[in-house]
Amino acid sequence: MGKKKGLHVKRKSSFRMWAEVIIEAVVLALLVRALVIQSYHIPSESMEDTLLKGDFLFANKFVYGAKIPFIDARLPKVRDPKPGDVVIFKFPRDPKQNYIKRCVAVEGQTVEVKGKKLFVDGVEKKENYTKYIYGGRMNFGPYRVPRGYIFVMGDNRDNSYDSRYWGPLDKRLLRGEAMFIYFSIDWRRHRIRFNRIGKIIH
């Protein structure tokens, strides 16, 4: 009887140990997802050719100060967003939606668009990642970005609903900075785009 009882206790202890390991792993994974890294997918063409519809990417939530779940507070930020960052954020007109655009100017800077040319504080910016469908017919500005906000635009400039239409982005709506593509699928051709997997986003 003594041996059977000891075996029962041993099995129970082993089960408890594995249960604790699994629970700790789940909790850690949830914390990482909530505070450090999160997955997003690209549903539109507004960031072509930097990001394609069907790309799946990881974003660094920690860099801008991740929001702590269930309370109105954020972790300390590593740095503020800077021009050139590809950022994920809650859409100001519908916080249930996540958008992804490129930061082109920060608070205090003046933005102006003339055709295919972007000017920040009167200086033309060289952008080798932009795409134009209609030849860049839209002009904008000059516009000074207010304090606490950034100005974002899609790389596909003629096919992007961005700050030119709905205004500057409140930094409190930032979710993170895009890091790299971990999966990509061409939905029209029903095939995986292996050449995009692992691509660093910049």
pLDDT tens-digit series, residues 166-196: 999 999 999 999 999 999 999 889 999 999 9
CA–CA distance, 158 with 88 (Å, rounded to integer): 20
**Structure-model confidence comparison of residues 155 and 27, the more confident one:** 155
CA–CA distance, 157 with 153 (Å, rounded to integer): 7
Q: Which of 5-14, 26-35, 72-81 has the highest mean pLDDT?
A: 72-81
CA–CA distance, 198 with 149 (Å, rounded to integer): 31
Residue type, 167: G
Please identify every residue annotated as catalytic.
46, 101
CA angle 92-97-103, nearest 5°? 55
How high is the pLDDT of residue 132?
92
How high is the pLDDT of residue 10?
52
Asked whether the predicted pLDDT for residue 202 surpasses 60, the reply is yes
pLDDT category of residue 88 using cuts at 50, 70 and 90 = very high
**Structure-model confidence comparison of residues 140 and 66, the more confident one:** 140
Q: What would the mean pLDDT of 48-75 be, rounded to a whole number? A: 84
Let me know: does 175 contact 61? Beta carbons within 8 Å: yes
How high is the pLDDT of residue 23?
66
CATH class of 38-196: mainly beta
Residue 155: name the closest of 194, 114, 127 by CA. Answer: 127
What are the residue ranges spanned by the domains of the chain?
Answer: 1-35, 38-196
How high is the pLDDT of residue 32?
46
**Structure-model confidence comparison of residues 149 and 70, the more confident one:** 149
pLDDT tens-digit series, residues 13-45: 776 776 665 665 555 444 444 445 788 999 999
Share of the chain above pLDDT 70, in %: 80
How high is the pLDDT of residue 39?
87
pLDDT tens-digit series, residues 93-124: 998 999 999 999 999 999 999 999 999 999 99
Q: What radius of gyration, in Å, describes the C-alpha atoms of the chain? A: 23
Q: Which of 33-47, 60-74, 79-93 has the highest mean pLDDT?
A: 79-93
Let me know: does 62 contact 82? Beta carbons within 8 Å: no
